[in-house]
A and B are shown apart, each in its own frame.
Chain A
Amino acid sequence: MDMVTNVTNLGRSGLGDWLIQRFSAVILAAYALYILGSFLVHPEMDYLQWRAIFDSTAMRFFSLITVLALCAHAWIGMWTISTDYLTSVQLGSRATVYRILFQAVCALITVVYLLWGIQILW
């Protein structure tokens, strides 16, 4: 069981996941505030202004870090939800099958989102 646990959770320890979850939340909050702030600074933002914000290298890195943070945050969250709700206590002997299917879908969405995000940024 320990081996399975280590393979599927992200930080390889409860503390690691817990810290990643909180650290990524701070990045996501900072990014969200920055984007909101940009709208406040440019109340009538057009496409060119929008492009200009994202053209700078600093903003590209900020966006990339945010996409990475979002993927890590979402994966830990969805993995935790799946191991809370999709267990043998709730679903009986087939729980492991349902859980792995659910986790596979989440992993796929996360990877697609990450690759797509990188493609948009670069």
Chain B
Amino acid sequence: MLVSIYRYNPDTDAKPVMQDIEVDMPAGKDLMVLDVLELAKNKDPSITYRRSCREGVCGSDGMNINGTNGLACITPISVAVKPGKKLVLRPLPGLPVIRDLVVDLTIFYKQFEKIKPYLINDTPAPGIERLQSPEDREKLDGLYECILCACCNTNCPSFWWNPDKFIGPAGLLQAYRFLADSRDTATAARLSELDDPFSVFRCRGIMNCVAVCPKGLNPTRAIGHIRSMLIQQGT
């Protein structure tokens, strides 16, 4: 199979190039994109990318696969590439490239940090733990599972345009995860931090984030909930 890989070393290269590598595929097997990338790296060890768990849990190998962001480790070749076509791998769009498929996620993490992604509770801690009813716990389903792979943010035009001001789908999903948590007491303060023209309201609801999330999460819906909470707080 022909694999086309984005190669770029900002320290030495004037501009990025696409490198074509022919990879021998084992017969009768539907490999994951990451497996094919490993086979390509066997041929050219200088190819650089992030990877760790190889099962869609760590979120390291988010990349642009034939035009769509996804995790290389859980994207089967049969899904990524039409038969007879080549596999095209590029880094996640919109972020500075450190080397080949490795992008600088600093601004992504900064946006995540802004929403204070931890429980805030100013009441005295109980002896053992803060309890939560099963119903309240259920409200966090579909929110807490995010692995911060950055596939959604880097597929979002609003984040491309204002990466320093728009929190982005990943951060906003987590913002709502703590707004919705019955044990968190900082709801009002969290909401007032989000009520500017950029942090939440740059979302136009185009749902690119939903389309690419490898964990099947729905940041657009969470952003809608945040908007409703802001309206309720404002009235």
Contact = CB atoms under 8 A, between A and B. Distances in A.
A38 interface: no
Interface in A2-59: 2, 5, 9, 13-15, 17-19
* SS of A interface (majority): helix
Interface of A: 2, 5, 9, 13-15, 17-19, 80, 83-85, 87, 89-90
Interface residues of B, number: 18
A65 B194 CA distance: 30
A13 B234 CA distance: 10
A89 B196 contact: no
Given A14-B195, A83-B198, 4 more contacts: A9-B197, A14-B200, A14-B230, A15-B230
Given A2-B196, A5-B197, A15 B234 contact: yes
B160 interface: yes
B9 to A, nearest CB: 23
Contacts of A15: 195, 201, 227, 230-231, 234
A89 B163 contact: yes
Contacts of B199: 14
Contacts, number: 45
Interface of B: 158, 160-163, 194-202, 227, 230-231, 234
B197 A13 contact: yes
Contacts of A2: 196
Contacts of B231: 15, 19
Contacts of A85: 161
B162 A18 contact: no
A15 B234 CA distance: 8
Nearest to A76: B197
A14 B162 contact: no
Contacts of A90: 161
Contact of B227 (A5, A9, A18, A89): A18
Contacts of A17: 197, 201
